[in-house]
Amino acid sequence: MIDVVGVPAEGFHALPPAHRQRIAAARTLVGSPRLLDLVPPDEGQERRVWPSPMLPGLSDLLGELGPDGVVVLATGDPLVSGVGSTLLRVLGADDVRVHPAVSSVALARARMGWSSESTDVVSLVSRSVYAVRRHLAPRARVVALSAGAATPAELARMLVDLGLGKTSMTVLGDLGTAQESRFTCAAGELALGIMPGADGIPALNIVALEVPDGVALWGSSPGLPDDAFAHDGQITKREVRALAVAALRPMAGQRLWDLGAGSGSVSVEWCLAAPRTSADAVERDGRRAELVRENAATFGVPITVIEGDSMEALDELRSPQAVFIGGGATEALIHAAWDALAPFGRLVVHCVTLDTEALVVAAQGRHGGDLRRVSIERAEPLGRHLSWKPARPIVQWSVTKAVS
């Protein structure tokens, strides 16, 4: 059993007596240099600093520590973007016991006077500032955990790029300590380096965002405008994309295989549609694979891009809960995707040619599901008037894998 003790911002002396006693009795104490320096020295106690980078060296460290008498120091609540979450993922709940302090998120909400119900929280500790984007809406309140002193300015520049330069940004530094600081300014000001005071931004900071009303945003519902994505024309058009995402039925924590990803627009909208979703996007064209990466970064969503042939890439991919084949469907690829799905997994195939249509009709005969033929018409100028211009019809096969 490893005990993970959250240390409040006030320091070691603010811990409850039981937590201080647990730390004093530890055979081995593990933490960052800053946290270890807060604990009074004990000659009989071994102290270990986390390896850097942490994850690659974590298994070796845990093997060296042994099974008993280990206490890990963490900041605030170890389960809010903290080491507690990592240890639980690696070791399991039976081998980790967490003793939280007040989290920095709770302190930030308290300083702002924001309830948990009215606030979204996003960690930028190991993610792009664009991860905030899915939480942005008129009058939205967002608490963003910073990676360091540079994060607030990076976040401000991103907001300006989105036309949200009037967003209120409150930078809360060293929360709960004697050095606690706070300043508020517009994103447009911070992006230009204009901010109140001359003390700079501390490395330990949290940013509270309040988006003004009356701003133009796309939202996150399926069927975003095609212009929202970087693409070379090879993109699942917005109406068809909305139908694809609806048939894929994104659910929290699930993974999508996007085979023949094109611009990756379906992967992006899958990730936006439910929390903690992710996607593996396979695209053979190197230039388009770069577009997928660009769109993933722009929307701040977790998409892994695999450049190559879909059939050859399948063995490299993690098991999916949904598969979308938007281009290049073959009998072998459909069969492999079907086998990869667990029970209740969803498979959606789009096709425009008669040859591929014959494949999905045959697959529907074997596995069931729904076949749809979708035709979209858009009004376009014809001389001095408007006329309907039909797009190429799409055949969609969607099926849920039953329990065998």
The CATH number of the domain holding residue 183 is 3.30.950.10
| Domain limit, last residue, from 179, 210, 241 | 210
Same domain as 96, residue 200: no
Cα-based angle 52, 89, 279 (whole degrees, multiple of 5): 90
Its domain, for residue 72, covers 2-102
Amino acid at 134: R
- 314 in a structural domain: yes
Name the strand (E) or helix (H) holding 72: strand 70-75
Q: How far is CA 185 from CA 156, 162, 171, 208, in A?
A: 10, 17, 9, 11
Question: What are the phi and psi torsion angles at 129 (to 5°)?
Answer: -60, -20
Q: Which residues are registered as beta bridge partners of 76?
A: none
Model pTM?
A: 0.86
Q: Which residues are registered as beta bridge partners of 85?
A: none
Q: How far is CA 104 from CA 78, 81, 90, 301, 385, in A?
A: 10, 10, 24, 24, 60
Same domain as 113, residue 8: no
- What is the tally of structural domains in the chain? 3
Answer for the pair 137, 220: CB distance below 8 angstroms, yes or no: no
Same domain as 127, residue 250: no
pLDDT in tens, 40-67: 988 889 999 999 888 888 888 988 887 6
Q: How many residues does the chain have?
A: 404
Same domain as 56, residue 42: yes
Ranges of H-type helices in 66-130: 83-91, 104-112
- Please say if the pLDDT value at position 198 is more than 70: no
* CA atoms of 297 and 283, how far apart (whole Å): 17
Average pLDDT over residues 88-105: 92
pLDDT in tens, 8-22: 988 889 999 999 999
* CA atoms of 122 and 201, how far apart (whole Å): 19
- 231 in a structural domain: yes
Q: Tell me what pLDDT residue 328 has.
A: 86
Tokens of 250: 């994104």
Tokens of 146: 């910073």
* CA atoms of 186 and 212, how far apart (whole Å): 10
Answer for the pair 50, 32: CB distance below 8 angstroms, yes or no: yes
Nearest to 356 by CA among 321, 332, 381, 387: 332
How is residue 401 annotated by DSSP?
P
pLDDT in tens, 205-229: 999 999 999 898 888 889 999 999 9
| Domain limit, last residue, from 44, 77, 102 | 102
Average pLDDT over residues 298-304: 94
Q: Say how many Å lie between the first and final Cα of the chain, rounded.
A: 39
